[in-house]
């Protein structure tokens, strides 16, 4: 069940996007989030959407998986866009009782939908093409300056990567525990709120116990493999900026420029 979820998964590959420096990808992703919420007219929205599609195509990952990652949030998208549809201001194009649809509402709905979809697609593109280790490694390096103010950067990154590693394992474990308690007649489907919360106890306690036991084991295993903190550690996969990253930066810069120019020259649609 839980394994079907493709959001946050990594697909190994050799595409141009895979080979971008993960630090570059993270920085670009942050810039992208800002820019997507600064699109105020259809031309700039079109530019960013086209940019998103370009990256998805370059990632050489089947669109099937991108669609699956959207499946999870489709309800939120529909809900917010419908909400926006009816909350526009201006002259109604159509009205039924208190429900009215305006041009402004339609625009808002389109913007919200496109923005959320683009955001999910872009974040999927990031996680699909970047292994968790690369991601945490990049975050560790990007946060390095924070060491000056005594932020335990290496430890944070190590914790993140261990967490990412054990998410699927713990999900599987939860599933197993649930099945075992159901087999003992645990009732999780009926009853009021209090009863349902109580029904979680037989699942949560074993889960915590096992998580602690695992944590202890993992710590032992890490020590056996000569782990002694971040000092003196090297990495197998070196990351460095290459020409490819600068091309990507240039494209993104062009998109940002385009969006700014459009916002100045054209009138806003929302």
Partner 1 sequence: MSCVLELKNIGFTYGRGTPFEKRAVDGVNLTINKGELVGVIGHTGSGKSTLMQMLNGLLRPTDGQVLLDGKDIWEQPKKIRSVRFKVGMVFQYPEYQLFEETVYKDIAFGAQNRGMVRGELDEAVRKAAEFTGLSPDLLQKSPFDLSGGEKRRAAIAGVIAMDPEVLVLDEPTAGLDPMGREVLLSQIVRYHKERKNTVLLVSHSMEDIARVADRVMVMNKSRLVMLDETRKVFSHAAELEKMGLKIPQITKIIQELRGRGFELPESVLTVDEAFAALLPLLKKEGKIW
Partner 2 sequence: MSFISIEDVYFSYGAEEDGQTAKNAVDGVTLQIEEGEFVAVIGHNGCGKSTLAKHLNAMLLPDSGKITVDGDDTADDAKTFEIREKVGLVLQNPDNQLVASIVEEDVAFGPENLGVEPAEIRRRVDEALRAVDMYEYREHAPYKLSGGQKQRVAIAGILAIQPRCIVLDEPTAMLDPVGREEVISTLQRLNREKKITVVLITHFMDEAVLADRVVVMDGGKILTQGTPQEVFSQVELLKRHRLDVPQSAELAYKLRGCGIGFERIPLTQGDCVTMLEEAMR
Q: Which does 226 bind (CB under 5 to 8 A by kind): partner 2, partner 1, none?
A: partner 2
User: Is residue 14 involved in binding partner 1 (CB under 8 A)?
Assistant: no
Cβ distance to partner 1 smaller for residue 168 or 206: 206
CB of 125 to partner 2, least distance (A): 18
Cα dihedral 96, 98, 103, 106 sign: negative
d(CA 248, CA 172): 38
Residue 67 binds partner 1, judged by CB under 8 A: no
Residue 124: how many other CB atoms lie within 10 Å: 23
**Smallest distance, partner 1 to C-beta of residue 185, A:** 3
Asked whether position 186 contacts partner 1 by CB under 8 A, the answer is yes
Cβ atoms of residues 116 and 80 within 8 Å: yes
Chain residues in the site for partner 2 (CB under 8 A): 10, 12, 131-133, 161-162, 164-165, 168-169, 172, 214, 217-218, 220-228, 232-238
The DSSP H or E segment spanning 168 is helix 153-183
Q: In b/e form, how buried is each residue of 159-181, taking b as 16+ CB within 10 angstroms?
A: eebbebeeeeeeeebbeebbeeb
Nearer to partner 1, 74 or 201 (CB): 201
Residues that bind partner 1 (CB under 8 A): 4, 64, 173, 176-177, 179-187, 201-202, 205-206, 209-210
């Amino acid at each position: 069940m839980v394994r079907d979820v493709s959001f946050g998964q990594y697909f190994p590959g050799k595409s141009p996007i895979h080979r971008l420096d993960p630090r570059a990808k993270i920085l670009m992703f942050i810039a992208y989030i800002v820019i997507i919420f600064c699109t105020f007219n259809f031309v700039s929205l079109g530019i960013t959407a086209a940019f998103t599609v370009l990256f998805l195509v370059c990632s050489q990952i089947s669109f099937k998986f991108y669609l699956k990652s959207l499946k999870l949030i489709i309800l939120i998208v529909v809900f917010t866009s419908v909400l926006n549809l009816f909350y526009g201001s201006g002259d109604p194009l159509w009205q039924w009782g208190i429900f009215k649809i305006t041009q402004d509402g339609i625009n808002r709905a389109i913007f919200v939908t496109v923005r959320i979809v683009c955001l999910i697609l872009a974040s999927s593109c990031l996680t699909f093409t970047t292994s968790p280790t690369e991601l945490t490694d990049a975050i560790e390096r990007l946060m390095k300056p924070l060491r000056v103010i005594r932020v335990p950067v290496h430890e944070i990154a190590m914790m993140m990567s261990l967490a990412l590693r054990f998410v699927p394992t713990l999900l599987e474990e939860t599933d197993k525990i649930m099945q075992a308690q159901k087999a003992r007649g645990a009732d999780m489907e009926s009853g009021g709120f209090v009863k349902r919360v109580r029904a979680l106890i037989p699942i949560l306690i074993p889960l915590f116990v096992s998580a602690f036991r695992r944590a202890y084991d993992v710590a032992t295993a890490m020590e056996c493999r000569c782990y002694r903190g971040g000092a003196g550690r090297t990495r197998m996969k070196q990351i460095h900026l290459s020409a490819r990253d600068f091309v990507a930066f240039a494209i993104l810069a062009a998109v940002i420029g385009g969006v700014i120019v459009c916002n100045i020259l054209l009138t806003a649609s929302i």
